[in-house]
Amino acid sequence: MWRRSPSFILDRHSSSSPPMADTTRVPFQNPDSISAYYQARAAHHGVISIDWLAQAKAAVGDVSADEQLNSTVADLGTEKSFNVIEEFNNWRKQPDLAEAVAAIRALAAVIRASEATTMMELEIELKKASDTLKSWDKTSISLTAGCDLFIRYVTRTSALEYEDFNSAKSRLLERAEKFGEISCKARKIIAMLSQDFIFDGCTILVHGFSRVVLEILKTAAQNNKLFRVLCTEGRPDGTGVLLSNELSKLDIPVKLLLDSAVAYSMDEVDMVFAGADGVVESGGIINMMGTYQIALVAHSMNKPVYVAAESYKFARLYPLDQKDMAPALRPIEFGIKIPAKVEVERSARDYTPPQYLTLLFTDLGVLSPSVVSDELIQLYL
Amino acid sequence: MDTRRGALAVPKVRRVGFFTSIEPPPDSQRPNRSQSGPVEATTSSSPLSNSPSGNLISPVLIPPSRHRSDNLTSRAAAPVPVPGPSAFRRHLAHDRSLHVGSYNPADSLLGTSPPSSIGEFSEDSVSLFGFQRSDSAKLSSSFPNGGFDLTLAVRAPQESESRIANSSASQGIKKNVEVSGKSETVTTQSKKEKESKSLKEKTSKAERRAIQEAQRAAKAAAKGEGSRRAEDSGRANPGKAAKQPQLKKEKLPVTSSVSEKKAAVEKERKMDVPQTQMQYDDKNRVEKAKKRAVVEQTESKNKVELFLHLPQYERGNQLLNLSSNIFTLDTIHHAVYKVGLLHLAGDISGDNARCIAMLQAFQEAIQDYTTPPKKDLTMDLTAKINGYVSFLIECRPLSMSMGNAIRFLKNQIRKLPGNLSESEAKASLCSEIGRFIGEKIVLADKVIVQHAVTKIRDGEVLLTYGYSCVVEMILLYAHEIGKKFRVVIVDSRPNLEGQKLLRRLVTRGLDCTYTHINGISYIMREATRVFLGASSIFSNGTLYSRVGTACVAMVANAFSVPVIVCCEAYKFHERVLLDSICSNELGDPDAIANIPSFRTNAKHSKTMENKKNLQYLNLMYDSTPSEYISMIVTDYGMIPPTSIPVIVREYRREHLLL
């Protein structure tokens, strides 16, 4: 019975055991210490800083290096893994497509290309592919969650339900296609659900650029709700600037704050909205650096903190404190030269414990943080 | 002080709602206190114990959600249930017309008074009903001098009707008095009418005695078919006694069939209701249990009032003769007997060890089991196992995990396909037990270790309390795979289990710090993680573990150190626990009374032993509220304490069916 528990740790352990996986993985280890996830996000947001330009150059170089490596490996005969990451990066270039969906589409491509003749073979192949994907970017939670979710689905839809392997395969493909739609739909659902919480004359503090939060605000504006938005600046990516730009296009009154001015302006705020990189098992969230801080301030001033997150961001992780997760590093540009001996905190995200969150808006409904774990248990066990 | 005493009295008063006994008030050992009223009322729950002070306390209590017949009146006189006010009023119509025999549906509530007392009353339920029939006017109508009684019968209900508004308690007494149906009571009754209300409630000793006698007479009359026996017992009023059986005979067929039905219903309900722990402050049940008991334990003398409902025995004196008759016993298998003795002596500690020992003993017992002729394996084996379990309970109260394991075993027995031969059935049961041990305990521990190790980083200081075998496995494994960390072991008297852990860790080369729980607030600032074991986790996330755990968790919380609880999923329990009082275990009071290094030990303890105003409390477990727990590591992964009900709900079936 315990075998059925897809305990992520055990999975990881078992995945590291086959030597094949090891040889394939090493070349695909993201060579830069910069989180690939954040590279992609920066690309989507199109915020170009000096730093970013340099970063982009480096990234391009990396990709070419990757491709070279890939081609060399491909010559060695491991085409599958090459396909996966390529495919994934292709999908990821679409700005509206979530990372998890891109991962699932990439895995679907694996199924399509697969020459497996039994379900077991296919499963093993998929597992390998997803492991490669996961290890390629360990910092992205939704990538990991998406892969896990799809693998879970595949193992659950055993061939027992279908007499013939091909029909099962096509069903899996169908499912993968559907995932993309679901992800788009999820944002709509969340936007609809959250409308009840936005009332006329309220002031909303938003941290970070989240597509879901943007969708919520957009829908609220379309419903002729009168509200004001305060955006944090969101250094160093300037995500807040981007969001305020989007909002002003929708004629929503918006005010830009320094990240350090949150406590100062908290008294005029009615609610805090945040997106999430990942929702962890405790019901807390992992999100852009600064969310924890804002949640703490809001909690101490008794303001509700609402998190908007699609259900595919639910991850089987359980950080106990801030340092208890793989750090996603990013470049930070201070404008002036920093002495070599000075250390810079480059972590891009933090963990907000569940007791500081009021509600989570997900496509499964409006949940309290403790329900997340229930959903996860039902999903994964 | 006074308020505290009042608070202490509450659980005991609550007991009144569920249990009653006809026993006289307990010995005068209890010191006289200013508030002894409620205490007296509860312990001496004779029908007349309904003193005003007892009534005063009752509004504070949580009213047990029971039938309406189970109000104060019937509660007070539970051994001989009397109809509640409504039932009584309905009786009046019959009484006035002197109509005797009809079955009153309101009576049906009587039999279902407190379910806890069902067990005792079901055997003589017929007699009970007979007695109820012969209630008040019906009884008196059978008096030889009918004219006088008739007036009484009419008068009495009127009286009580007016009193219903005033106090239901006094009514109960009144009725009991009426029930006694004696000429003396008539006089007292008329006297009572004149007296003030408070005086009424104080019945004299003679009256009480008369009532008891009458009750006994009625019972005997109902039981004995022959009228002679009834005559013997009802010596005070031969006329009445002679007539009573006649009445009974008329009604017997009706009542017996009804009671049969009721018994069936009750049985069903009993199956539904989860078995509750025996309340050891309930004299009746304790007496019954003692008769059945294999292990003769002497109860310790000075018990703490708040924990009277838990068994507390003096240890060590019966072990020798018990172990000597290991070969003479035939009702209990020797393997089970051995495990029981080990439990009694405290040689096995730790929930997993106890559970495994018990299951292995059962395995052995099942292997040696042969179905007696003309008996069904399923039924007989279940009964056998029940016997073993009650023996084990006598030795030491079961832990929650053992309860779960027993439930699993019984389920397996019940599920056995009928077409299996005896040897096949035995083999399958044994293998199922083996599987339970293997999967639910041994493998689960391995999975927990794998999970928990991911939460240990280099350079951490892990704090643990007492001894938990899972925590030990985690620490050793983390050391094995080369993590660099330090361990702080917090320990407490009297068991000093932490020393065992300390010894094992130090021999394996781990860096350890050993301290007692007194130093917890100092040492906690060093710790970065707290690992705790568990005896059980309840569905509201409450952790039930070795006493002192709550203290450690709370201090950790105050220092914002994450608390990680390691617990196998078979220890989860669907019940809800709010405090450490309801379900707990009392250890040997001598263990805390005697300090090993204390020189004048013997002399000291002897002088202290005889002190009446000294009570030792050696609690074994305490409960930690879920808000102090950051994470629970189980075989299903790492979950927050709020998710325990999900695991219990989703996997209970699997638990049982496996």
Do B456-585+620-657 and B315-444 have the same topology in CATH? no
Between chains, do B646 and A370 touch, taking CB under 8 Å as contact?
Answer: no
Domain boundary among A168, A186, A204: A186
Three-state secondary structure call for residue B515: strand
* A11 and A158 co-located in one domain: yes
Q: Rounded CA gap, A89 and A84, in Å?
A: 9
Q: Rounded CA gap, B368 and B362, in Å?
A: 10
**What is the per-residue pLDDT across A74-120, written as a single tens digit (0 to 9) for each?**
333 444 445 677 777 777 666 667 777 788 878 888 888 877 777 77
Q: Is the pLDDT higher at A7 or at A206?
A: A206
Q: What is the mean pLDDT of chain A?
A: 76
Identify whether the C-beta of residue B530 lies closer than 8 Å to the C-beta of residue B628.
Answer: no
Domain boundary among A144, A167, A186: A186
How close is the nearest chain A Cα to the Cα of B570, in Å? 12
Interface-testing mutation among A4, A7, A148, A317, with chain B (most B C-beta atoms within 10 A)? A7
Cα distance between the two ends of chain B:
52
How close is the nearest chain B Cα to the Cα of A282, in Å? 5
Alpha helices in B197-282 (DSSP H): 197-201, 205-223, 227-233, 238-272
Q: Give the pLDDT of residue B125.
A: 39
CB atoms within 10 A of CB B470: 26
Q: Rounded CA gap, B215 and A16, in Å?
A: 79
* A220 and A362 co-located in one domain: yes
Q: What is the mean pLDDT of residues B324-329?
A: 59
Structure-token pair, residue A87: 């495919």
CATH class of B456-585+620-657: alpha beta
Q: Is the pLDDT higher at B459 or at A328?
A: B459
Cα B210 from chain centroid (whole Å): 33
How close is the nearest chain B Cα to the Cα of A321, in Å? 8
Between chains, do A2 and B447 touch, taking CB under 8 Å as contact?
Answer: yes
Q: Rounded CA gap, B373 and B381, in Å?
A: 13
- Confidence check: pLDDT of B237 > 60: no
- For chain A, positions 261-290, list CB contacts with chain B under 8 A: 281-283
* A171 and A302 co-located in one domain: no
**What is the per-residue pLDDT across A194-227, written as a single tens digit (0 to 9) for each?**
999 999 999 999 998 888 899 999 999 999 999 9
Residue B19 identity (one-letter amino acid): F
Torsional sign, CA A48, A51, A53, A57: negative
Structure-token pair, residue B198: 């408070």
**What is the per-residue pLDDT across B466-504, written as a single tens digit (0 to 9) for each?**
999 999 999 999 999 999 999 999 999 888 889 999 999
Q: What is the mean pLDDT of residues B601-621?
A: 71
Between chains, do A377 and B639 touch, taking CB under 8 Å as contact?
Answer: yes
Structure-token pair, residue B603: 């002399």
Confidence class of residue B623 from pLDDT cuts 50, 70 and 90?
very high
Q: Rounded CA gap, B600 and B596, in Å?
A: 10
Q: Rounded CA gap, B16 and B35, in Å?
A: 17
Q: Of B354-358, B562-566, B611-615, where does the model show the most confidence?
A: B562-566
Domain boundaries, given as residue ranges, for chain B: 315-444, 456-585+620-657
Q: Rounded CA gap, A60 and A31, in Å?
A: 12
CB under 8 Å to A160, separation ≥6 — which residues? none
Residues of A in contact with B643 (CB under 8 A): 370, 373-374, 377
Q: Give the pLDDT of residue A103.
A: 81
Q: Rounded CA gap, A161 and A163, in Å?
A: 7
* A110 and A130 co-located in one domain: yes
Q: Are strands A349-352 and A285-288 parallel, antiparallel or unpaired?
A: antiparallel
Nearest CA in chain A to B563: A320
Q: Give the pLDDT of residue A227.
A: 93
- Quote the ipTM score: 0.75
* A235 and A324 co-located in one domain: yes
Three-state secondary structure call for residue A164: coil
* A193 and A319 co-located in one domain: yes
Q: Give the pLDDT of residue B327.
A: 56
Residues of A in contact with B631 (CB under 8 A): 282, 318, 320
Q: Helices A165-194 and A99-113: crossing angle, nearest 10°?
A: 170
* A125 and A32 co-located in one domain: yes
* A59 and A163 co-located in one domain: yes
Three-state secondary structure call for residue A130: helix
Q: Is the peptide bond before B596 cis (omega within 30 degrees of 0)?
A: no
Q: What is the mean pLDDT of residues B93-100?
A: 44
Residues of B in contact with A283 (CB under 8 A): 640, 642
Between chains, do A320 and B639 touch, taking CB under 8 Å as contact?
Answer: no
* A263 and A373 co-located in one domain: yes
Q: Rounded CA gap, B483 and B473, in Å?
A: 14
Alpha helices in B122-225 (DSSP H): 125-133, 136-141, 146-166, 168-180, 183-194, 197-201, 205-223
Q: What is the mean pLDDT of residues B97-106?
A: 43
CB atoms within 10 A of CB A324: 15
- Confidence check: pLDDT of A349 > 80: yes
CB under 8 Å to B12, separation ≥6 — which residues? B38, B39, B42, B43, B281, B305, B308
Whether B113 has its CB under 8 Å from any CB of chain A: the answer is no
Radius of gyration of chain A (CA): 21
Q: What is the mean pLDDT of residues A263-286?
A: 92
CB atoms within 10 A of CB B278: 17
Domain of A337, CATH number, reads 3.40.50.10470
Q: Rounded CA gap, B246 and B248, in Å?
A: 5
Specify the range with the lowest mean pLDDT, choosing from A152-161, B50-59, B331-340, B454-463: B50-59
| B501 burial via Cβ count (<10 Å: 0-12, 13-18, 19+) | buried
Between chains, do A381 and B637 touch, taking CB under 8 Å as contact?
Answer: yes
Confidence class of residue B172 from pLDDT cuts 50, 70 and 90?
very low
Nearest CA in chain A to B541: A370
Backbone φ and ψ of B543, nearest 5°: -95, 130
Q: What is the mean pLDDT of residues A324-336?
A: 82
Torsional sign, CA B289, B290, B291, B294: positive
Alpha helices in B416-487 (DSSP H): 422-435, 444-453, 469-480
Q: Is the pLDDT higher at A156 or at A211?
A: A211
Domain B315-444, CATH: 1.20.120
Identify whether the C-beta of residue B77 lies closer than 8 Å to the C-beta of residue B60.
Answer: no
Specify the range with the lowest mean pLDDT, choosing from B4-18, B82-96, B279-293, B454-468: B4-18
Q: Give the pLDDT of residue B574.
A: 85
- pLDDT above 90 covers a percentage of chain A that reads 30
> Could you tell me which residues are beta bridge partners of residue B621?
B546
Identify whether the C-beta of residue B433 lies closer than 8 Å to the C-beta of residue B457.
Answer: no
Q: Is the pLDDT higher at A290 or at B284?
A: A290
Specify the range with the lowest mean pLDDT, choosing from A81-95, A258-272, B76-90, B503-517: B76-90
Going by C-alpha positions, the residue among B365, B351, B366, B364 that lies closest to residue B444 is B351
How close is the nearest chain B Cα to the Cα of A376, in Å? 10
Q: Give the pLDDT of residue B606.
A: 60
Nearest CA in chain A to B640: A282
Going by C-alpha positions, the residue among A168, A119, A116, A176 that lies closest to residue A146 is A176
Nearest CA in chain A to B446: A2
Between chains, do A7 and B447 touch, taking CB under 8 Å as contact?
Answer: yes
Q: How many domains does chain A divide into? A: 2
Nearest CA in chain B to A355: B627
Interface-testing mutation among B440, B454, B643, with chain A (most A C-beta atoms within 10 A)? B643
Half-sphere exposure of B639 (CA within 13 A, CB side): 32
Structure-token pair, residue B68: 């309406």
Rounded alpha-carbon distances, angstroms, from residue B576 to A126, B536, B541, B640: 43, 11, 8, 17
Count of helix runs (H) and strand runs (E) in chain A: 14, 10
Give residue A338's domain range: 188-380
Q: What is the mean pLDDT of chain B?
A: 67
**What is the per-residue pLDDT across B21-50, written as a single tens digit (0 to 9) for each?**
444 444 444 444 444 444 444 344 444 444
Domain boundary among A186, A215, A239: A186
